Amino acid sequence: MLFYPAAFIALPRLLSQHARISAIEILDSTIIALGLGSLGTALFVGPVLPRLNGDMVMTFFAIFYPVGDLILVASVISTLLTKRVSKRAIVASVGIFIFAFSDFLFLWLHVNNKYTFGSISDDGWLVGLALLVMSTQFKASEQNSDEGVNPVFVALSVFLSATLLGIITLRPGFFPSFILLPTLLTLLVAFIRMTIALRQARSLGTERTLARTDELTGLSNRRRLIAEIEGLEDSQGALLILDLDGFKPVNDSFGHDIGDEILKQVSTRFHRALPDDAILARLGGDEFGVLIHSNYEVSMEIARALQATMSYPFIVGEESIDLAVSIGIATNNDDHDLLRRADVAMYKAKRESLGVAHFDFL
Cβ(187)–Cβ(165) below 8 Å? yes
Q: What confidence tens digit (pLDDT) does each residue in 198-225 have?
A: 887 777 766 676 677 888 999 999 999 9
Which pLDDT score is estimated for 286? 93
> CA-CA distance, 27 to 48, in Å (whole number)?
30
Distance from the first to the final alpha carbon of the chain: 76
DSSP-based three-state secondary structure for 245: strand
Strands 314-316 and 319-321: antiparallel
Which pLDDT score is estimated for 290? 96
Which pLDDT score is estimated for 235? 83
Strands 324-331 and 356-358: parallel
> CA-CA distance, 222 to 206, in Å (whole number)?
18
Distance of CA 346 to the CA centre of its chain: 40
Q: What confidence tens digit (pLDDT) does each residue in 68-125 have?
A: 777 777 667 666 655 566 777 788 888 888 888 887 787 777 667 777 777 787 788 7
Taking residue 16's Cβ as centre, other Cβ atoms within 10 Å add up to 23
Report whether pLDDT(18) > 80.
Answer: no
Report whether pLDDT(359) > 60.
Answer: yes
Length of the chain: 362
Per mean pLDDT, which range of 58-72, 119-133, 319-333 is the poorest?
58-72
> CA-CA distance, 186 to 161, in Å (whole number)?
7
Which uninterrupted H or E stretch holds 214?
none
Report whether pLDDT(20) > 60.
Answer: no
> CA-CA distance, 307 to 296, in Å (whole number)?
16
The amino acid at 4: Y
The amino acid at 244: L
> CA-CA distance, 42 to 256, in Å (whole number)?
70
Q: What confidence category does residue 160 fall into, taking pLDDT thresholds of 50, 70 and 90? A: confident
CATH superfamily of 222-361: Reverse transcriptase/Diguanylate cyclase domain (3.30.70.270)
Helix, strand, coil percent content, the chain, rounded in steps of 5: 65, 10, 25
> CA-CA distance, 89 to 14, in Å (whole number)?
7
What mean pLDDT is reported for the chain?
Answer: 80
Mean pLDDT of 131-139: 79
Q: What confidence category does residue 133 fall into, taking pLDDT thresholds of 50, 70 and 90? A: confident
Cβ(93)–Cβ(76) below 8 Å? yes
- Provide CATH 3.30.70.270 ranges for the chain: 222-361
Which pLDDT score is estimated for 314? 93
